[in-house]
Amino acid sequence: MKIRSCFAFFLLALALVSCSPKEYQKKSSFASRDNTKMTIVGNTVSSKALEKVITDFRKLYPNCDIEYEYLQNYSKNLAKRLENNETIDLFLTNNIQGDSPSLPYALDLKTAGKAVDLSYTYDGLIKNFTYQDHLYAIPMGAEIRGLFVNKTLLASLSLKTPTNYQELLHCCEVLKAAGYVPLQGNPNSFGQKLMYPYVCDLIGNSKSYADVYASVNRADVGVSELFRNPVSRLYELVEKGYYDYKYVETNNGKFLTGSQDGVCLGFLGIVIGKNQEGRQVHDKTDVAFIAEPMSLKTSLDKYKEDFHSDVEYEFILAPVGDEGGFAYMSPSEGIAVNKNGQNVDWALEFLNFLFSRQENSVYAKENSIIPNTKDAETYINKTFNMKGTRVTQLGQVSFDYVFYNVINKTLVDVSKANAPKYMRQDGTMYPLSHYMEGLESGFEKQRKKE
């Protein structure tokens, strides 16, 4: 028995070692070169996540000094800098396609051959950034939408973080009875952030995926019924006053700014005075849940630290399903190589380092996104303790943008349904059927365009 136990323990230890990220192996051809300087430009004042990777790269290659540079008015100044052939080796970017100003200057990474190693990356993210069989940038991870939960506020009412829709309703009912409006956020994005992962799951994980995918793309008659559940649950949250557009508009305007700063200030209850000394934090906040992407955590953490906030919070997948939440992966910001740069080979080596499993995990954790690694879906399931298949990604639900506009309009309309100016003349909400008919009408207009 002892021998078997020891052998079993050995196998477990071996499995754990084999699953852990391996350190990147430096190449002697680069290690023996003369000192080199490279520049990476981005649109944020600083990038703590990228700086961590840069620091690790410098340890591996002391002969390569990389600097991160912030460019104001990024889209305009980046194109100008690239056009003038100024010193830029790598640059941060969204997906580069036919109308991208930086397209003429970005290296097609597919033509770089073996110099680029994407063997550890997630195929769905790479395919989404592929344009007409060209790859001009690599997404550094994936965004997922969900809920930020004010654990401090919930605990004050003896509530726990909800794990499914019924528990979410219970939390909202207790919060409302205590005088709170549980769910808050910008009505122009609230419904989409809360329910779009559910919408995507109904397609991407359907039993007849190919048929459902084709039916939605054709905007078949009656296809709106597929989305009744997420639309009706959003309607229920609004009808019961758990989300109140008028309240948000009147009492928490910070959510209407459309900025990350406004969302962070509103969620944490931070008030900024006219001068530095006038800053203060409320003793308690009145916001229990906000629907936002996970990457907001980086900004929330900074505000919490800077303003010494006592609010404890966590990010969860919005528990709008009977068994919990749904994860929908969309590409985060990417990185590209300036094909006219002086250090293209060094830039490609940095990309290989950045997209090694270990370093990409470092970057993703610091930026609060999902790593661009082969095991991205497994990572999500483990992180959020998900059972079953409730993860989809952009490659599975890559519809014409018109589909998004149709479903998003309905989600926005429902989010505003209890605001007086969007209600019926008698002061009551339009019924759910009104919004379902609007969704079907949107698909019908799309059919007529085809």
Domains of the chain from N-terminus onward: 22-139+333-368 (3.40.190.10), 145-329+388-449 (3.40.190.10)
Q: What pLDDT was estimated at residue 387?
A: 75
**3 state SS of 97:** coil
Phi (first) and psi of residue 203, to 5 degrees: -100, -55
Q: How far is Cα 4 from Cα 377, in angstroms, rounded to an integer?
A: 33
- Evaluate whether 380 touches 145 at the Cβ level (below 8 Å): no
Among 394, 352, 397, smallest CA distance to 142 is for 394
The sheet that has 138-139: what strands, in order across it? Answer: 64-70, 36-42, 90-93, 334-337, 138-139
Among 27, 37, 57, 19, smallest CA distance to 343 is for 37
* List of residues 6+ apart from 418 with CB closer than 8 A: 238, 239, 241, 243, 244, 245, 246, 429
- For the chain, state the CA radius of gyration: 24
Between the CA of residue 222 and those of 201, 209, 215, 281, 438, what are the distances in Å?
18, 17, 10, 50, 12
**3 state SS of 329:** strand
Q: pLDDT digit of tens for each residue in the chain (450 aa)?
A: 444 434 343 333 333 333 445 689 999 999 999 999 999 999 988 899 999 999 999 999 999 999 999 999 998 899 889 988 778 999 999 999 988 999 999 999 999 888 999 999 999 999 999 999 999 999 999 999 999 999 999 999 999 999 999 999 999 999 999 999 999 988 889 999 999 999 999 999 999 999 999 899 888 999 999 999 999 999 999 999 999 988 887 776 677 777 888 889 889 988 776 554 435 555 457 899 999 999 999 999 999 998 888 899 999 999 999 999 999 999 999 999 999 999 999 999 999 999 999 999 999 999 999 999 999 999 999 999 887 788 998 878 866 667 888 999 999 999 999 999 999 999 999 999 999 999 999 999 888 876
> What sign does the CA torsion over 103, 105, 109, 110 have?
positive
Q: What pLDDT was estimated at residue 19?
A: 46
Among 401, 403, 412, 405, smallest CA distance to 435 is for 412
Residue 175 one-letter amino acid: L
Q: How far is Cα 24 from Cα 398, in angstroms, rounded to an integer?
A: 34
Q: What pLDDT was estimated at residue 84?
A: 83
For residue 233, what are its two tokens?
């649950």
**3 state SS of 141:** strand
Strand partners, 392: 328
Between the CA of residue 212 and those of 195, 201, 202, 226, what are the distances in Å?
19, 11, 9, 9
Q: What pLDDT was estimated at residue 5?
A: 39
- Evaluate whether 172 touches 237 at the Cβ level (below 8 Å): yes
Whole-prediction pTM: 0.87
